[in-house]
Amino acid sequence: MALRAIEERRMFSNFGPVNATFEEDMVARMFSGVGSCMTVCNATIGLMLAIQQAIGRRSTRPRYALMPSFTFAAAAQAALWCGLTPLLCEIDPVTWSACPQDEERLLALYGDDIAVVVPYATFGYDIDLMRYEAIMQRHKVPVVVDAAASLGTVSADGRGFGTGFKGTVVFSMHATKAFATGEAGVVYSNNQDRIHELRQMCNFGFGQARTATMPGLNGKLSEIGALLCQQRLNTFEETMIHRTAVMARYRAALPDLTFQPIQRGRQAHQFGVGLLPEGWGPHRSQFSAELTAAGIGNATYFSPHLAQQSYFVENAVFEDLSVTDDIAGRVISLPMFDTMTEADTDEVIAVVRQQMSAHTVSASMPAWSLPLDVTNAFRRHVAADQVH
């Protein structure tokens, strides 16, 4: 029906009516009716647009995009496309988000050479946006939040993450996120004029009819893409309740893993992300391989972190990142998907527990190996819909 309606209207893109309705619904339901948003074809394009808009057409001298090294390549790539050099900071060992002290240190050190700050709301964690508004004011620097995994996160004040933020917030709806549609994103700001300008940039920089008046590209979401987003939104509350329950089950049954702190409000979970105990870093790849062998899909976001990826080693600036090295070295993403049953979750838990108890690892122990026949009992392919 809805597909036929699109066909009959003969309007397949260019912020058509399906898209317009979705954007309105999004602001109403996810952002308490506050601010404006715009869809994009994916969050990476959204970050490129938001960063380009933030830096405007100012100075041409070398400038930096300050971001944590513990994030996805997309943020650094977007900064590089905008002609900026990623300046990588440390993370907090508890929240795994940008370390406030290190951010302040780099803001003081690099001053006006920092063109934009790009914090990451790590795995949907509710980072302190008031602090970033204060940074915007104090340092006169724009802030673009990479909130790729945060659609569904509710802050302590009961509003969707990002609501009312004066900078720009970029969300992803990629298949790996809680709000998954395949490929899509949303750019939000409490500043309506900024969203208006971003929309023109997203449409070839056309400030006037077929006339480019600013930097631009084509980042538009098709009407069919918007329809998928709308349908996802309509049932999203159920999705969030389910994912919250899966995560609670992981937390309760896996006390040896360290998870991000539980906050007031609600965190959207794209995977079941935890840290292996201290000293397990050197054994993580084998642990991951054993899970895979037992049919448990798993991943290690974000390892390697940015400063460990060859392109960013050459094109980013960073110093010692030992906290990031440690966290990235021990992180493991367990399966999280919408059709996951309690039995599926328990199966994952059983394999993880079995792997962990079979081997008490100390930092000095050599890499261990496991008799595979034990884990084979669980081989029933708990697939993870989470591979980039």
Ligand X SMILES: *Cc1c(COP(=O)(O)O)cnc(C)c1O
Residues in contact with ligand X by the rule CB under 6 A: 42-44, 71-72, 74-75, 120, 146, 148-149, 172, 174, 176, 185
What minimum distance in Å lies between the beta carbon of 181 and ligand X? Answer: 10
Q: Is 83 exposed, middle or buried (0-12, 13-18, 19+ CB in 10 A)?
A: middle
What minimum distance in Å lies between the beta carbon of 212 and ligand X? Answer: 24
Q: Which is nearer to ligand X, 69 or 172 (CB)?
A: 172
What minimum distance in Å lies between the beta carbon of 388 and ligand X? Answer: 8
Cβ atoms of residues 63 and 85 within 8 Å: yes
What minimum distance in Å lies between the beta carbon of 185 and ligand X? Answer: 5
Q: How far apart are CA 239 and CA 247, in angstroms?
A: 12
Residue ranges of the alpha helices (H) in the chain? 2-9, 17-30, 43-55, 73-81, 100-110, 129-139, 192-201, 223-234, 236-253, 284-293, 310-315, 322-330, 342-358, 372-376
Cβ atoms of residues 258 and 94 within 8 Å: no
Q: Which is nearer to ligand X, 43 or 246 (CB)?
A: 43
Q: Which is nearer to ligand X, 260 or 355 (CB)?
A: 260
What minimum distance in Å lies between the beta carbon of 5 and ligand X? Answer: 26
Handedness of CA 78, 79, 83, 85 (dihedral sign): negative
What minimum distance in Å lies between the beta carbon of 149 and ligand X? Answer: 5
Q: 351: number of CA atoms within 13 Å, CB side?
A: 30
Q: Which is nearer to ligand X, 302 or 318 (CB)?
A: 302
Q: Which is nearer to ligand X, 72 or 125 (CB)?
A: 72
Q: Which is nearer to ligand X, 309 or 354 (CB)?
A: 309
Peptide bond into 302 cis (omega under 30): yes
Q: How far apart are CA 245 and CA 133, in angstroms?
A: 33
Q: Which is nearer to ligand X, 106 or 149 (CB)?
A: 149
What minimum distance in Å lies between the beta carbon of 120 and ligand X? Answer: 5
Q: 207: number of CA atoms within 13 Å, CB side?
A: 7
Handedness of CA 347, 353, 355, 358 (dihedral sign): negative
Q: How far apart are CA 101 and CA 363, in angstroms?
A: 29
